[in-house]
Chains A and B, each alone.
Chain A
Amino acid sequence: MTITVDHPANPAAGDADRPMGYGRIQRKEDPRFVRGKGHYVDDIVLPGMLHGAILRSPVAHARLVSIDTAAALAHPGVVAVITGQDLLGLNLAWAPTLSADVQAVLVTDKVRFQGQEVAFVVAEDRYAARDALELIEVEYDVLPAVVDARRALDPDAPVVRDEIEGRTDNHIFDWEAGDAVETDAIFASADVIVSQELVYPRSHPAPMETCGAVADFEPIDGTLTLYETSQAPHAHRTLFAIVAGIPEHKIRIVSPDIGGGFGNKVGIYPGYVLAVVGSIVTGKPVKWVEDRSENLMSTSFARDYIMQGEIAATKEGKILAVRTNVLADHGAFNATAQPTKYPAGFFHIFTGSYDLQAAHCTVTGVYTNKAPGGVAYACSFRVTEAVYLVERLVDTLAHQLEMDPAELRLKNFIKPEQFPYLNKTGWEYDSGDYERAMRLSMEIAGYDELRREQKEKRERGELMGIGISFFTETVGAGPRKHMDIVGLGMADGAELRIHPTGKAVVRISVQSQGQGHETTFAQIVAEEIGIPPEDIDVVHGDTDQTPFGLGTYGSRSTPVSGGAVALVARKVREKAKFIAAAMLETRPEDLEWEKGRWFVKGDPSVGKTIAEIAMGAHGTVTLPEGIDGNLDAEVTYDPPNLTFPFGAYICVVDVDPGTGHVTVRRFIAVDDCGTRINPMIIEGQVHGGLTDGVGMALMQIIEFDEAGNNLGGSFMDYLIPTAMEVPNWETGFTVTPSPHHPIGAKGIGESATVGSPPAIVNAIVDALSPLGVTHIDMPCTPARVWEAMQGRARPPV
């Protein structure tokens, strides 16, 4: 007979050696996913549910002259057609963004980017809804489009946001960090200055599952249940209360299983609002699920920074200062997701892993006729751009000084004893041992042997390149005093409840999109309380079921929510001590903890397990004064600082001299994220991020033509790496815990996406250096590399 493997995760379940904490354990999520029993938004079907579809603008910039919806409304199965005029009546035509700007939900005055939402059809099935889109007649008066950010501030540039009173240009903000005077003085006297324009082109996170929602408004008691692809369900609830005017206690947001987020699912998109409006208007649940083209054309893009970077050094290779001016293309609405005080996110971490004497940056944001976004795709709030800037500049400097790029980095690293290290733009790095990680990465790579191989190949005319990136991340936003998103402080709550039989449920405010929270948060509780992870349920994503918090992005789950979970477990453990003391008729201070059990000091045979204590807490034991029964606790964790994980990456590429095709032959990634909760899951996070890096460095770009047509709006043109374009990743790690974090853990999720693109581009430039190539902008497609080989490298449009 066959035996059903119901719980293949944690195979040791049932015996005495059950895992009680950190380590490689299989995921609690997997059994449902491998059976096709996940619960994603489009899997949800509610009684009477209708389907919504969005009509989108075919042009980038145009006055809306008229919309005729009569034919669409007459189409069989169509229940409602909603336009911007309808929303004006509901005061919902515009919605606030995460950057305190507003974004059109449906166009009322003019279209500002191709793919913008123009009308919403609600029908009985998804096919009928799509049919009806084609029956809506829209007349546009096409205007010239602002496409090139470099020309957005020209005096004669069309004004994208002329609906804002007094607005006569496309300027959004100027922001700076560091000390300009000090920096300029150092540059004025430096031996060596290297300047380079670096374009981080517009890309898109493109999660495999697109954005979608099912809205269910119950008119009798005025409650709204909204199932959403949301990385931040609690923040969405608050925003919906503000946007839609529904009292917050009557809104329930449910983020079910999410098919990848990567920052794409942080903001509130017009489609979500339209699903809600559709449900209010029709009195029935309304589902809206976008297709891939809609996802790529209208939801949050990433990057789009044009950076003028400069690095100053002595001729011996001591790096002195970095300065940069950035032009940031934010599209038609400033919907960038970042803490309020940081309009360029954490870009000012661009001083990197080096001990500088001065640094300064300015960032200017501009409107263009493109989709909104900017912060997404594992960027940690613009750290991708910052790391790319400094790591390319350091390589350019190494080339200028004719120094080995590894040697130059080793010479300039912040030393272990300098931590906590206050950099020149105001960040306090928590901990680091950079040289150790760099040396380990070089050892895994066989760096010296690689350089020898390269020399031999160069003599044969072969193009082999070795690229290094050593990065410092800044993740775990953030201290409430400095960091909020639209006024909501970036703290996270956790609640832990131990049931009478010793099983537990921990409720968290962050929202997994595949990062394995259901497993790793159980492991944190297991480590602290001594209950095996499979006996701990992790509840997330339902605002009715979980404490308030800001959600998962910026690799903030482990730093913030992970801290909250460790602390709530310790609070429960402390409570358990008092209950155990009562049960053992001893004093709490006479008890000692071993994982899973309080026992009497000096007499380990006398003690109570956490399960016994849980039963006691719910039973008839006379509890000490101040202990109110049950075994549970809740905390809100306001982190004192961010965490600063780091990594040493080495990439080896071969470039085909005839075609310019780049092959990433090897990639070595050494990461240090402090305490490692589950090495298997960390490795998976790193692998995924490295693949993002290959995508961005070699193939991904959302480009526009002069008319503002989006040229990257489908997977035919927006290229995602497959198994054929990526190597077998080689990973290693060091452990330098975060001193301020309750378990010493730092975030890791975005490190590889942040750290890998500069390693790949540095490798390509290294490969092409015999041809005189000193820089090539991403994406390094064969055509662009070939052009660079002919001395015609150009920035992407």
Chain B
Amino acid sequence: MQISMTVNGSDVTSEIEPRVLLVHYIRDVLRLTGTHWGCDTSNCGTCVVLMDGQPVKSCTVLAAMADGRAITTVEGLATGGTLDPVQQGFMQEHGLQCGFCTPGMMLTSRALLDVNPHPTDTEIREAISGQMCRCTGYATIVRSVQWAADHPQGIHEADETVEMATTDEMDQIHARIADATGEEVGA
């Protein structure tokens, strides 16, 4: 069958089998591999994309059902070369580690902020509760979304200060190692 949809602002038309899942259409046909596939029971949410602005688990939508719809994937989250504040927030607040859940988490967060620009932590947790992360323990994801809420225009250059270990701290550490080993370390 033939389907047409808008993906990240571009019109696409394809001939597909009716049974093809949207997640496989996006990944295998359109080669947009930022959308992931982490389970087979619709629990994990690594496949979340936006369909007409609403987060959907694309493993649980047939590509045919997306006919005529507008889909946003992680690849379409940045606009005009500028990262979405949500993307910036995840980097600022260490909201990702292996990166596998990240695209889905960010899209859900974007949809949340679109309707609720200043969510509470609990509202963020509820919004992402259909999605699993095995690395972060979620707290930094909540912080990442709050960062995006606090920086609705994003930033052009990151304004986060870099907290380096101070010279004093490093000297203390080196001294302790030297005490223990009799070897000079560091510089």
Q: Chain A interface (Cβ within 8 Å of chain B)?
A: 2-5, 8-12, 19-27, 29-38, 40, 42-43, 45, 125-127, 206-210, 257-260, 262, 291-293, 431, 513-516, 527-528, 530, 593-595, 675-676, 679-681, 683-692, 714-716, 720, 722-724, 726, 728-729, 735-737, 739-744
- Is B162 within 8 A of A728, CB to CB? no
Specify the chain B residue showing the minimal Cβ separation from A34: B87
Q: Chain B interface (Cβ within 8 Å of chain A)?
A: 17, 19-20, 24, 27-28, 31-41, 43-44, 46, 73-75, 77-78, 80-83, 87-88, 90-92, 94, 96-103, 106, 121, 124-126, 128-142, 155-160, 162-165, 170, 173-174, 176-177, 180-181, 185-187
- Is A42 within 8 A of B162, CB to CB? no
Contacts of B94 in A (CB 8 A): 26-27, 680-681, 683-684
- Is B140 within 8 A of A260, CB to CB? no
Contacts of A675 in B (CB 8 A): 173, 177
- Give the CA-CA distance A102 to B185 in the complex, in Å: 46
Contacts of B46 in A (CB 8 A): 208
Contacts of B131 in A (CB 8 A): 722
- Is B173 within 8 A of A209, CB to CB? no
Specify the chain B residue showing the minimal Cβ separation from A515: B97
- Is A260 within 8 A of B34, CB to CB? no
Specify the chain A residue showing the minimal Cβ separation from B100: A259
Contacts of B163 in A (CB 8 A): 23-24, 679
Contacts of B164 in A (CB 8 A): 19-25
- Is A688 within 8 A of B129, CB to CB? no
- Is A513 within 8 A of B40, CB to CB? no
Contacts of B121 in A (CB 8 A): 728
- Is A723 within 8 A of B128, CB to CB? yes
- Is A36 within 8 A of B74, CB to CB? yes
- Is A743 within 8 A of B157, CB to CB? no
- Is A34 within 8 A of B44, CB to CB? no
Contacts of A726 in B (CB 8 A): 137-139
- Give the CA-CA distance A36 to B170 in the complex, in Å: 36
- Is A728 within 8 A of B139, CB to CB? yes
- Is B44 within 8 A of A208, CB to CB? yes
Contacts of A687 in B (CB 8 A): 136-140
- Is B100 within 8 A of A24, CB to CB? no
State which of A38, A431, A715, A723 has its C-beta within 8 Å of the C-beta of B138.
A723
- The DSSP consensus for interface residues of chain A is loop
- Give the CA-CA distance A257 to B103 in the complex, in Å: 15
- Give the CA-CA distance A45 to B96 in the complex, in Å: 25
Contacts of A740 in B (CB 8 A): 181
A737 in contact with B176 given A22-B165, A26-B92 (CB within 8 Å): yes
- Is A35 within 8 A of B87, CB to CB? yes
CB distance from A391 to the nearest CB of B (A): 21
- Is A723 within 8 A of B142, CB to CB? yes
A36 in contact with B91 given A259-B98, A515-B97, A687-B137 (CB within 8 Å): no
CB distance from B137 to the nearest CB of A (A): 3
- Is B176 within 8 A of A126, CB to CB? no
Specify the chain A residue showing the minimal Cβ separation from B86: A34
Q: Which of A34, A210, A690, A728 has the most CB of B within 10 A?
A: A34
Contacts of A593 in B (CB 8 A): 187
Specify the chain B residue showing the minimal Cβ separation from A261: B98
- Is B38 within 8 A of A292, CB to CB? yes
- Give the CA-CA distance A595 to B38 in the complex, in Å: 44
Question: 17 interchain pairs (CB within 8 A)?
Answer: A26-B158, A30-B90, A30-B91, A34-B99, A126-B28, A209-B98, A259-B100, A514-B96, A514-B99, A687-B140, A688-B134, A691-B136, A691-B137, A722-B138, A726-B137, A726-B138, A737-B176
CB distance from B13 to the nearest CB of A (A): 20
- Is A737 within 8 A of B177, CB to CB? yes
- Give the CA-CA distance A186 to B98 in the complex, in Å: 48
Contacts of B77 in A (CB 8 A): 35-36
A739 in contact with B140 given A33-B102, A207-B134 (CB within 8 Å): no
A739 in contact with B36 given A25-B162, A714-B41 (CB within 8 Å): no
- Is B34 within 8 A of A35, CB to CB? yes
- Give the CA-CA distance A125 to B173 in the complex, in Å: 56
- Is A742 within 8 A of B83, CB to CB? no
Contacts of B90 in A (CB 8 A): 30, 34
- Give the CA-CA distance A188 to B57 in the complex, in Å: 61
Contacts of A716 in B (CB 8 A): 41, 43
Contacts of B36 in A (CB 8 A): 40, 42, 208-209, 259
- Is A38 within 8 A of B99, CB to CB? yes
- Give the CA-CA distance A9 to B87 in the complex, in Å: 12
- Give the CA-CA distance A688 to B135 in the complex, in Å: 5
Known A26-B160, A259-B36; 9 more pairs at CB < 8 Å: A22-B164, A23-B164, A26-B92, A38-B99, A208-B98, A259-B98, A513-B98, A691-B136, A724-B129
- Is B185 within 8 A of A743, CB to CB? yes
- Give the CA-CA distance A690 to B41 in the complex, in Å: 25
- Give the CA-CA distance A107 to B141 in the complex, in Å: 44
- Is B156 within 8 A of A208, CB to CB? no
Specify the chain A residue showing the minimal Cβ separation from B93: A680
CB distance from B2 to the nearest CB of A (A): 18
CB distance from A604 to the nearest CB of B (A): 14
- Is A676 within 8 A of B165, CB to CB? yes
- Give the CA-CA distance A24 to B156 in the complex, in Å: 20
Specify the chain A residue showing the minimal Cβ separation from B87: A34
Contacts of B38 in A (CB 8 A): 208-210, 259, 292
CB distance from B180 to the nearest CB of A (A): 3
- Is B27 within 8 A of A42, CB to CB? yes
